[in-house]
């Protein structure tokens, strides 16, 4: 995970390649707490983070939002009592790009 978390997102435009099945397996092995979901035909990375209360979950959601702005790559963030669900995918290509795995690794580091 640390290797991915040290990388920066690269500019990604429509037509950029989605990760291949081989890349998907290799990248997922580096972020073991994340899984994939397919919504409306779009593969996405998703993880649920659990907290003791709403205030801690809210603080974490804010950290994720700040990270997203720094990298100019924006996830879905669902804030609930005691949990935050973060979902990464690349809107421009309608699926997963290496950037999404980089951001997932960086999101995990926000817990430290």
Q: Note the pLDDT tens digit of each residue in 75-97.
A: 999 999 999 999 999 988 999 99
Q: Please give the model's pTM, rounded to 2 decimal places.
A: 0.92
The set of residues, in sequence order, having a beta carbon less than 8 Å from that of 42 and lying 6+ positions away, is: 89, 94, 95
pLDDT digits (tens, 9 = 90+) for 32-49: 999 999 999 999 999 999
Backbone angles phi, psi at 49, to 5 degrees: -105, 135
Which CATH code fits 19-109? 3.30.1360.20
Q: What share of the chain is helix, strand, coil (3-state, %, to 5)?
A: 40, 25, 35
Q: Strand pairing of 35-39 and 83-88?
A: unpaired
């Amino acid at each position: 995970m640390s290797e991915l978390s040290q990388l920066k997102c690269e500019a990604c435009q429509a037509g950029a390649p989605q990760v291949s099945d081989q890349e998907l397996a290799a990248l997922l092995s580096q972020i073991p707490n994340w899984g994939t979901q397919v919504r409306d035909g779009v593969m996405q990375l998703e993880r649920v983070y659990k907290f003791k209360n709403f205030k801690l979950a809210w603080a974490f959601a804010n950290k994720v939002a700040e990270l997203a702005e720094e990298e100019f790559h924006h996830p879905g963030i669902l804030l609930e009592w005691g949990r935050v669900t973060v979902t990464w995918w690349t809107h421009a290509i309608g699926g997963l790009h290496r950037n999404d795995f980089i951001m997932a690794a960086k999101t995990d580091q926000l817990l430290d």
